[in-house]
Amino acid sequence: MYPRRNWQEKLTLGECVRGLALAFLYLCVFPFAMAWVQRTGGVELPVAETNVIYYFISVLLVFLLFWRFLKRNFTLLLDRLPENLWGAAVGLAGWVVLDGLARLIPLPVANPNDITYAMEYLLSPRATVVILVVLMPIVEEMLFRGLLFGTLLRYSRGLAYAVSVLVYAFFCVWQFVFSYGQVDLRYLLLAVQYLPAALALCWCYDHGGSLWGAVLLHMAVNGLTLLRIVAGG
């Protein structure tokens, strides 16, 4: 067997530094800043509308900081369109199967996202769709696949998959540990529900080579997840 070629465009050192700065802002600064903005002036703004601002700023920063990288990846998407579409299609099918199996695993706590997204959609359906299906995938794919997975792939494909999948899964649930006035580590077990999506997104990016292929898959995953939640499934 011939060694598998890496099709991904590599981040430059400067792009990696900017990626770490964006990750810090996205994970540690913006959530608290938006919580403050939501209550500015004594009037509590709707959560979904506030989050649109949060994610819009994040997406704007992604394009400003990584315009050349994203442009190169768009060219790669067009050059390897069959591979990227196949990667997205297979990734979506694999996610559907694995996600269904993961949700059969009995867990001691319910996923707060199911309730949160249902309420946000009820109050602000358009804002919720824009956040989950358009804005969130662009930011998270740049950070978790473009930056984390792509950087580790230079050294080891196995390491890139293991670290990226686990980090993304725990990123999706860590905040629940502190959400109810006390530390409850049981919420970390919910990470198992995000492993299928994390694995599918990494595989899609690895197979197709363009970050935009993974973005399209992430949009589809979030759209179907929202549909399931709203439909009460």
pTM for the full predicted model: 0.91
CA distance 190 to 63: 31
Please state the separation of Cα 29 from the chain's center in Å: 18
pLDDT at 2: 35
Cα-based torsion angle of the residue sequence 108, 114, 120, 123 in order, rounded to the nearest 10 degrees: -100
Q: What is the pLDDT along the chain (233 residues), one digit of tens a residue?
A: 334 455 677 898 999 999 999 999 888 877 766 656 555 544 455 566 778 888 999 999 999 999 999 999 999 999 999 999 999 999 999 999 999 999 999 999 999 999 889 988 988 899 999 999 999 999 999 999 999 999 999 899 999 999 999 999 999 999 898 877 788 899 999 999 999 999 999 999 999 999 999 999 999 999 999 999 998 75
pLDDT at 39: 58
Left (φ > 0), alpha (ψ -120 to 50) or beta: where does 9 sit?
A: beta
Q: Which residue has the tokens 């598998």?
A: 4
* Closest alpha carbon to 73 in 165, 148, 142: 142
For residue 210, report the phi and psi dihedrals to the nearest 5 degrees: -105, 135
137 contacts 158 by C-beta, under 8 angstroms: no
Cα-based torsion angle of the residue sequence 144, 201, 211, 150 in order, rounded to the nearest 10 degrees: 50
Domain boundaries, the chain: 13-231
